[in-house]
Structure 1
Amino acid sequence: MTGSGGLPLLFLDVDGPLLPFGPATGPSGSHPTYSTGPVPPGAGAHPLLARIDPGLGPRLAALDCELVWATTWTHGANEVVAPRLGLPALPVVLWPGMSSADARDARAGLHWKTRTLVEWAGGRAFAWVDDEIGEADRRWVAAHHGERALLHRVDPGRGLTDDDFRLLDTWLRMM
């Protein structure tokens, strides 16, 4: 399931970390928009894509890790989001159908992505950037993943910030 190599994985969600939504919590009180030239095929229907900062792409690519889409956008992230960021096609986590275990996890406060990401990591160190990570996810990963893991919640009203990149870079350098 995972790519080759020993670099840690960086699981990226789109909505929230890369595509801010909801009330803007940044200093300006509104979401900035960016013009990135031609709109990739299929992107015109999504009204918030102009909020994706193309400057995030080079910053993500510069991190010493293997980037992986961990989003409900699945392959659409490569078709629509990656071109806006100037990123190549990335590996994509595909989500299994809901099960009774998922319902039990939800009642316990565990995010529906958590088990799949640990399985996908296959024992490799990983960071997970998402706007829906909670303490139950951190506890479950600590108990069920034998390698280092950073579960980092991003404010969905701001998206990835300089502070988030500093944290990720520091964590990756400790590898």
Structure 2
Amino acid sequence: MASALQYIEETIICAEILRLMPRFLALLLRALIKRCLRSHEAIYVTLLPVADQRCLERDTRNLGHDLPKHADCIQWIMESSSRKAPWSGKRVVHELMAIWFGSVHALTTTVTFAIHDLCLHPEYTEPLRAELEAQYIQFLKSGRGLPLLDSFIKDSSRLTLVESSILLSLSAK
């Protein structure tokens, strides 16, 4: 679990550092970072035997043998792959790591940068507060409304490119 949590933090911090570097320097620094930070490797090495076993079970089941089915993320990922070209254990682990990264970092990163942007632009505090006080109960019931907050969060996300191509290439390797 420690590596799973470190993986998210390391990836985001490294991506932001690399995003700020000139491209030629970012490529060199990326290689150094990959050698120093190992949380992604710990996750991969831990999950690969499980995913390989599941792939073996899938292939055995496809031959007509009756094996118990699992009801978890690994199984869901495997069932999401093409039946004609099912994913390998390696691909299943990469997909699982990507989903883990996205599910953990998306909301926390969005909220963190929105709060940061709110601190940089305090003139939005009162209008956002007024919208929340007036419409929050209705929003909870319907899931609709809060257009000012929605717009503020979208602009904050647009201005904070954490999901840069460097980030994606780092987390996928």
Task: Identify whether the pair has TM-score above 0.5, normalized to the shorter chain.
Answer: no
What's the TM-score bracket when you normalise by the shorter of the two chains? under 0.3
Of Structure 1 and Structure 2, the greater strand share is in: 1
TM-score between the two structures when normalised by the length of structure 1: 0.23
Of Structure 1 and Structure 2, the greater helix share is in: 2
TM-score between the two structures when normalised by the length of structure 2: 0.24
Greater Rg over alpha carbons, structure: 2
